[in-house]
A = this chain, B = another copy of it.
Amino acid sequence: MSDTQGILIAIGGHEDKDGDRTILKAVAEQVADGCLVIATVASQDPEQYFEAYRAAFGALGVSDVAELYVDNRAQADDPELRALIAGAGGIFFTGGDQLRIASQIGDTPLEEEIRTLHKRGGVIAGTSAGASVQSDVMLVDGSGDESYRIGDMHMAPGLGLIPDVIIDQHFAERGRIGRLLGAIAHNPRLLGVGIDEDTAIVIESNRFKVIGSGAVTVVDAGHVTRSNIAEAKPDRVLSIHDVVMHVLSAGDDFDLGSRRPGTIRSE
């Protein structure tokens, strides 16, 4: 990666908006020149999201904000919207449905502008759906609080800003370990990263550090010795042997290349 490439921040949802704002502060600090674009594309009711983030970022000194919303895919060609991203210092994707983001702006000129923003050093951040969409493959659906059954297959391509990673959010709160294990069982090339609420990973040059009040669970199927994902019937529960799991919290970091955790400082 080049030195100018911007930072990516993936947030597990429900980040603190009126207390310490640890996570939003980390986003705000990365916005240098230009406005911060609040992309509410994931939502069908964008107004409330935009107002909440305008207030939260305003309190952190980022007053130059603009909303990005597209109602249908044709709008992703709009020169005005492209110019908005071209002049931005960063973009923040709100929550909603990650499939709305990917299906509305995936493979459009607008997505290309977002990649260009990232390459020239702009921050790309997102919470909940806005975190999932940054990864290569995203979990779209799938129940929480149950073991994964072979037939529960709900993945879709994301924007792919973070290669070879599948991000899940609201992770501990919605009991999503089962569905993340199901996802990585399909192809251990994908590293599973489950982010709790009010918790984020800050990715810079193929490493991430953890910030916020919860945990980030990393599941690595690279050394799995057996799974029944390919052979079993759809209603069968997943078997998977020898997954390596790391639970990381603030002060921990992780190298996405070597897939090894580390600790910057203990708290």
Contact = CB atoms under 8 A, between A and B. Distances in A.
Contacts of A219: 245
A111 interface: no
A224 to B, nearest CB: 10
Nearest to A173: B145
Contacts of A241: 246-248, 252, 261
A189 interface: no
23 contacts: A145-B173, A145-B175, A146-B173, A146-B196, A146-B214, A147-B214, A147-B217, A148-B215, A172-B178, A213-B237, A214-B237, A215-B238, A228-B249, A228-B266, A232-B267, A233-B267, A237-B247, A237-B249, A238-B249, A241-B248, A241-B252, A243-B245, A243-B246
Nearest to A144: B175
A263 interface: yes
A174 to B, nearest CB: 7
A14 interface: no
Interface residues of A, number: 45
A140 interface: no
A211 B239 CA distance: 13
A213 B149 CA distance: 10
A201 interface: no
A2 B236 CA distance: 35
Contact of A226 (B147, B243, B263): B263
Interface of A: 144-148, 172-175, 177-178, 181, 196, 213-215, 217, 219, 225-226, 228, 231-233, 236-252, 261, 263, 266-267
A4 B167 CA distance: 50
A225 B263 CA distance: 11
A236 B267 contact: yes
B242 A246 contact: yes
Contacts of A173: 145-146
B239 A249 contact: yes
Contact of A238 (B213, B237, B239, B247): B247
A242 B145 CA distance: 23
Contact of A215 (B147, B231, B247): B147
Nearest to A217: B147
A44 B166 CA distance: 46
A216 to B, nearest CB: 9
